[in-house]
Copies of this chain bind each other. A is one copy, B any other.
Amino acid sequence: MSGAGADVPAEHVEGSSDAVVDLLAALAYGELTAFMRLAEDAELAPTLPYTAALGRLAVAEFSHFELLRERLVTIGADPELAMQPFVAPVDAFHSRTAPSDWLEGLVKAYVGDGIATDFYREISAYVDPSTRELVHSVLEDTGHADFVVTAVRRAIDADPRVGGRLALWGRRLVGEALSQAQRVAADRDALATVLVGGTAEMPGADLVEIGRMFSRLTEAHTSRMGRLGLTA
């Protein structure tokens, strides 16, 4: 439709916008489910201030969902249809990582929120300027999970065995997240293209860069677990 894209082969423009739709929709559904799970986990809290703190984090995730949803509408996508392919993998992740107690819920909230934030930062280099702006406004709204550090460290001080159990739990969270991410990457060509290869509109990373990105994400996760007093 637009004359500006005349030089770009049609399949590239299509590929690019499919990829952005996939990316925004995957993040949107991730935020929507994070909101529901965090609100549910808030009921496990031992005190009302902790319930409120987890509630605040849940509300922040919901506002990210709203931003992503509005962006999908703006670029002409149907948010419901766009999110559909990510329902099964994201729901599978949550059903395999339902916290059995309050501390597992906290670690999941902190690790999940942290990895999501790092991922937003990483992808901001590979998306078009207006998507990048959206990603930056999501990134500015952080810090809601900081209360977790004190709570988890206090629990480990009170009973050091808790540290071993939660470290295992952290590894399980990452393992399940990676296995669902692989499932998504295998099913969604367009999404994989954002990262590997890219398009004329949106230059992607090469495999070396992907490798670096994964090692940055892993390092950030390791230091996040360290802040909680856990070995990754």
Binding site for B on A (CB under 8 A): 29, 32, 35-36, 39-40, 42-43, 47-49, 51-52, 55-56, 58-59, 62-63, 65-66, 69, 79-80, 83-84, 87
* Min CB gap A59→B, angstroms: 5
Chain B residues in 8 Å Cβ range of A29:
48
Closest chain B residue to A38, Cβ basis? B39
Chain B residues in 8 Å Cβ range of A87:
48
Closest chain B residue to A33, Cβ basis? B43
Q: In the assembly, how many copies of this chain are there? A: 2
A42 and B36 contact, CB distance less than 8 A: yes
* Min CB gap A79→B, angstroms: 7
Residue in B39, B79, B83, B84 whose beta carbon sits within 8 Å of that of A35 in the complex: B39
B58 and A39 contact, CB distance less than 8 A: yes
Residue in B35, B48, B56, B69 whose beta carbon sits within 8 Å of that of A80 in the complex: B48
Chain B residues in 8 Å Cβ range of A52:
32, 65-66, 69
Closest chain B residue to A91, Cβ basis? B43
* Docked pose: A32 CA to B36 CA in angstroms: 14
A32 and B48 contact, CB distance less than 8 A: yes
* Docked pose: A52 CA to B55 CA in angstroms: 16
A55 and B47 contact, CB distance less than 8 A: no
Chain B residues in 8 Å Cβ range of A40:
36, 39-40
Closest chain B residue to A80, Cβ basis? B48
Which one of A62, A63, A79 has the highest number of Cβ atoms from chain B below 10 Å of its Cβ?
Answer: A62
- 17 A-B pairs besides A48-B80, A48-B83 with CB distance below 8 A are A29-B48, A32-B52, A35-B39, A36-B39, A36-B43, A36-B55, A39-B39, A39-B40, A40-B40, A47-B80, A48-B79, A48-B84, A48-B87, A52-B65, A52-B66, A56-B66, A59-B59
Chain B residues in 8 Å Cβ range of A55:
32, 35-36, 62, 65
